[in-house]
Structure 1
Amino acid sequence: MEERPVTLADLKKLNAPVRAHCNICQKAAYISTEGMPEDTVVIYIARRLRCSRCGSTNVVSRPCYQHMVPKHPREQQS
């Protein structure tokens, strides 16, 4: 199986957002991808980002699959 970078089209199929993280001050936020081409590689989005807290460009962007992780039975509401 050939590995390839994750694109916005891949995330759209899974309804998964993009999350950015500042490596300097540790701020994290979801990124709006509205208007970006679907063939945009998720990890390359960070190249255009600057942290709104500290101003650093030392930022990474990653897919956020957290919403797909099942909750522990005690956390589920009846």
Structure 2
Amino acid sequence: MDKPTPLAHGQIDVLILQALVRKLVMKGVLSPDDVRAMLLEAAKNLDLVGSELTPEAAGIIVHEDLAPVFLGTGTPA
């Protein structure tokens, strides 16, 4: 049985997650600080250079790349 092709090469999941987070912030279920904390925790476990990121590097990724996209304040450069 053939596996279905992911929509937009799997990016639809990311878009749905971003929209869900924004909606939860708008409804007051999550605060922007809650979102940043979750993103920081996830970013610390990223393996971009062969090991987990330092807290400082994870913080930069959250501040510059992830938070703007998830909080709807812009897109990363």
- TM bin, normalised by shorter chain, reads under 0.3
Q: Which has the higher strand share?
A: 1
Q: Which has the higher helix share?
A: 2
Which is bigger in relative contact order (C-alpha 8 A, separation at least 6)? Answer: 1
